Amino acid sequence: QIQLVQSGAEVKKPGASVKVSCKTSGYSFTFYGISWVRQAPGQGLEWLGWIRTYNGNKYYAKKFEDRVNMTADTSTTTVYLELRSLTSDDTAIYYCARDPLHFSFSASPQPSDSWGQGTLVTVSS
C-alpha cells in the first residue's frame, strides 16, 4: 500500500535550519509529485511547494521561495524539505503529500491524495 513516512519531531532555535524527510513506498516514485503543506497549532493549512520527482522540477510558494529547498532522491524514494532562517512563526506540523492517482506525471502542482503522518517542528529559543 502507499506509504509516506516522515522523520521525527524537531526542536530548533531561531535562525537555524531544519530538514524533514518523507520516505515513500508502495508506488512508482517518479510517477507522482510531492507537495509540502504545513499547519501551525490550531490553524489552517498552508502550501509550501511541490517537487516533480520525475525530473526534480520545483514550484515554491512565493512566501518561502528565498529560504526553502525541496529535493528528491530516486535511489531511496525519499523527498526532503529544508527550511532555513527559522522563526517562531515556523512552528508547525509539516506534511508531505502525494499527487492523486489520476494526476500521474503531472508537470505542475496538484491536490494530494496520500499524506505523511506529519512532522512537528518547534522553533524556540
Partner 1 sequence: DIVMTQSPDSLAVSLGERATINCKSSQSISSSSNNKNSLAWYQQKPGQPPKLLFYWASTRESGVPDRFSASGSGTDFSLSISSLQPEDVAVYYCQQYYTSGHLTFGGGTKVEIK
- For partner 1, the binding residue among 29, 54, 60, 80 (CB under 8 A) is 60
CA distance 34 to 22: 9
Residue labelled with grid coordinates 512563526:
89
Verify binding: residue 102, partner 1, rule CB under 8 A: yes
Verify binding: residue 79, partner 1, rule CB under 8 A: no
CA distances from 79 to 8, 20, 110 (A): 14, 8, 16
Verify binding: residue 95, partner 1, rule CB under 8 A: yes
Verify binding: residue 53, partner 1, rule CB under 8 A: no
Residue 73 is given by DSSP the state E
Q: Which stretch binds partner 1 (CB under 8 A): 13-21, 70-78, 79-87, 108-116?
A: 108-116
CA distance 120 to 125: 16
Question: At its nearest, how many Å lie between partner 1 and the CB of residue 75?
Answer: 26
Q: Which stretch binds partner 1 (CB under 8 A): 16-24, 25-33, 79-87, 115-123?
A: 115-123
Verify binding: residue 119, partner 1, rule CB under 8 A: no
Residue 72 near residue 79, CB atoms below 8 Å: yes
